[in-house]
């Protein structure tokens, strides 16, 4: 009475039926007979939507607790050769910026060992004086540790430190986006609410909610696949439908000059861009929303001239409304040579209104744009969206307070957001301010709703052909 199991090589592929054994297991040899090279099975957990592996013991694949069910199982191949996502999950040296002068290599190592095995830790010093230069390098043995470390900021010895891929390592492939954009947020959605909700899909390493309220948020997952799996979906949080879509780094360092902004010889390189060395889009932690002037609420409305094409090279200053072109919303796919605003269409019909000083809520604008870009992407799939559109403008909708890591919202003590996630012991430092030292099994110990508990960093994305039409963040 052997039953049959539906197995496909991958999602989207045609499944075939494979016979199970009397003890309900499926022989790996049976599987391999149809799918040479397979080393395991997985299936998508309908609840978490994440892939779940099937237990393999002595050549037998065992059904999940609830039985094989009717779902389709997918083959797992060595080295995860699932066509897309060429994530070279290799570790590289990571630079640690902002170290206290006093921090020793030993301390550096000890701090990061809470994330995983540290193969190397060094603090750069002046050869003569021996004085630390305030930065160092570390290397993990596991890519996951590296991922986690890169996705957060770190409180080391009393200072917030950024960990990035060193500039010297540019051009080395690394990542897939782990961060998603969550649109249509309401003001009563706190970071904890989002974290709690999204944690059921996978480990959340960061939640960022711009302040003042802008109707969107960023959620970063440890696993890029989880992030990707949610993109394009609507979710109900606190009774409100929010939309999840790709978040993209605000700008692509590898792609220069394009778009309505300055088409300088080397493209517009501004103060904000010099920080974009790493493919992670700046690597660090704080979300540098491009902000140029005007405080929160002050003159966030663009009234007039600061249009799509006003800023010359290096002067990206007065752009506070989204640049549709930089967002990839050109209305014409494949336009890599469109240099000016004149070649730009406006799918929302909003830009011109705004140019005229029409009152427009930047928050809603931002959210709407992100939505719009998705619509476009769906239409444009198959045709290439120029990655170069990514460069150019400041995508500042309004002027959020920069995430300094020191709150800036309340006068309270610094939230110890840098508490190591898995390990607990934090940095052995400043724990006094964090009443619940990393007890959470899952993710970090975010001091409950602590202000400024943002600022992490995204493993950004690469110059991708698709999916670059999004709200830019940093």
The residue ranges that bind DNA (CB under 7 A) are 92-93, 95, 97-101, 120, 122, 124, 127, 131, 133-135, 137, 159, 164, 166-169, 271, 274-275, 277-278, 283
CA atoms within 13 Å, Cβ hemisphere of 124 = 12
Give Cβ neighbours of residue 206 (< 8 Å, ≥ 6 apart): 151, 152, 179, 218, 219, 220, 454, 456, 458
What's the closest the beta carbon of residue 100 comes to DNA, in angstroms?
Answer: 5
Closest to DNA by CB, 214 vs 250, is: 250
Give Cβ neighbours of residue 420 (< 8 Å, ≥ 6 apart): 111, 114, 115, 426, 427, 438, 444
The b-or-e profile of 109-134 (16+ CB within 10 A means b, else e) is bbbbbbbbebeebebebeeeeeebeb
For 141, the token pair is 């043995």
What's the closest the beta carbon of residue 86 comes to DNA, in angstroms?
Answer: 21
Closest to DNA by CB, 131 vs 410, is: 131
Closest to DNA by CB, 283 vs 307, is: 283
Distance CA 378, CA 384 (A): 12
- Other C-beta atoms closer than 10 Å to the C-beta of 229 total 20
What's the closest the beta carbon of residue 170 comes to DNA, in angstroms?
Answer: 9
Closest to DNA by CB, 202 vs 253, is: 253
What's the closest the beta carbon of residue 94 comes to DNA, in angstroms?
Answer: 8
What's the closest the beta carbon of residue 152 comes to DNA, in angstroms?
Answer: 16
What's the closest the beta carbon of residue 145 comes to DNA, in angstroms?
Answer: 16
What's the closest the beta carbon of residue 53 comes to DNA, in angstroms?
Answer: 34
Strands 73-76 and 4-8: parallel
What's the closest the beta carbon of residue 52 comes to DNA, in angstroms?
Answer: 36
What's the closest the beta carbon of residue 252 comes to DNA, in angstroms?
Answer: 16
What's the closest the beta carbon of residue 416 comes to DNA, in angstroms?
Answer: 18
Closest to DNA by CB, 70 vs 129, is: 129
Distance CA 289, CA 209 (A): 12
Q: Can you name the residues that pair with 180 across neighbouring β-strands?
A: 219, 246
Distance CA 283, CA 457 (A): 6
Please provide the DSSP assignment of 356-414 as one string.
Answer: TT----HHHHHHHHHHHHHHHHHHHTTSPPPGGGGSS----SS-PPP--SS-SSSSSPP
Helix (H, G, I), strand (E, B) or coil at 169: helix
Closest to DNA by CB, 30 vs 278, is: 278
Closest to DNA by CB, 136 vs 328, is: 136
Closest to DNA by CB, 238 vs 274, is: 274
For 445, the token pair is 């110990």
Helix (H, G, I), strand (E, B) or coil at 236: strand
Are 314 and 257 a contacting pair, CB within 8 Å? no
Q: Which 8-state DSSP code applies to residue 305? A: S
Closest to DNA by CB, 246 vs 278, is: 278
Distance CA 250, CA 282 (A): 10
Give Cβ neighbours of residue 378 (< 8 Å, ≥ 6 apart): none
Closest to DNA by CB, 168 vs 332, is: 168
């Amino acid at each position: 009475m052997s039953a049959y199991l539906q197995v496909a090589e991958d999602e989207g592929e045609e499944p075939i039926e494979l016979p199970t054994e009397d003890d309900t297991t499926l022989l790996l040899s049976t599987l391999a007979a149809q799918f040479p090279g397979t080393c395991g099975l997985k299936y998508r957990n309908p609840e978490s939507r994440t892939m779940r592996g099937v237990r393999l013991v002595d050549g037998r694949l065992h059904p999940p607790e609830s039985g094989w069910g009717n779902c389709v199982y997918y083959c797992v191949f060595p080295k995860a050769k699932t066509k897309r996502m060429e994530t070279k999950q290799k570790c590289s040296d990571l630079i640690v910026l902002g170290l206290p002068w006093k921090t020793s290599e030993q301390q550096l190592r000890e701090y990061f060992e809470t994330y995983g095995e540290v193969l190397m830790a060094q603090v750069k010093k002046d050869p003569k004086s021996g004085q630390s230069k305030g930065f160092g390098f570390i290397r993990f043995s596991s890519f996951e540790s590296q991922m986690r470390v890169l996705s957060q900021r770190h409180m080391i010895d009393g200072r917030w430190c950024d960990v990035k891929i060193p500039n010297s390592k540019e051009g080395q492939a690394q990542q897939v986006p782990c961060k998603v954009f969550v649109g249509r947020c309401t003001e009563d959605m706190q970071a904890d609410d989002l974290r709690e909700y999204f944690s059921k899909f996978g480990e959340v390493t960061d939640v960022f909610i711009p302040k003042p309220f802008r109707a969107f948020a960023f959620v970063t997952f440890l696993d890029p696949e989880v992030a990707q799996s949610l993109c394009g979906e609507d979710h109900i949080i606190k009774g409100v439908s929010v939309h999840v879509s790709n978040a993209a780094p605000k700008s692509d360092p590898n792609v220069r000059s394009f778009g309505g902004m300055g088409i300088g010889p080397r493209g517009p390189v501004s103060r904000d861009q010099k920080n974009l060395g790493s493919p992670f889009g700046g690597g660090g932690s704080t979300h540098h929303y491009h902000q140029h002037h005007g405080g929160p609420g002050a003159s966030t409305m663009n009234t007039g001239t600061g249009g799509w094409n006003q800023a010359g090279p290096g002067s990206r200053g007065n752009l506070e409304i989204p640049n549709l072109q930089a967002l990839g919303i050109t209305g014409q796919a494949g336009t890599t040579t469109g240099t000016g605003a004149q070649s730009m269409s406006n799918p929302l019909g909003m830009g011109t209104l705004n140019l005229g000083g029409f009152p427009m809520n930047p928050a809603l604008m931002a959210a709407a744009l992100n939505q719009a870009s998705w619509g476009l992407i769906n239409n444009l799939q198959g045709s290439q969206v120029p990655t170069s559109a990514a460069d150019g403008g400041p995508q500042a909708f309004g002027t959020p307070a920069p995430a300094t890591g020191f709150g800036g919202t309340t006068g309270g003590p610094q939230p110890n957001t840098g508490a190591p996630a898995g390990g607990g012991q934090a940095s052995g430092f400043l724990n006094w301010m964090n009443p619940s030292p990393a007890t959470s099994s899952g993710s970090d110990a975010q001091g409950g709703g602590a202000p400024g508990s943002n600022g992490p960093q995204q493993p950004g994305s690469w110059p991708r052909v698709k999916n670059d039409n999004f709200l830019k963040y940093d």
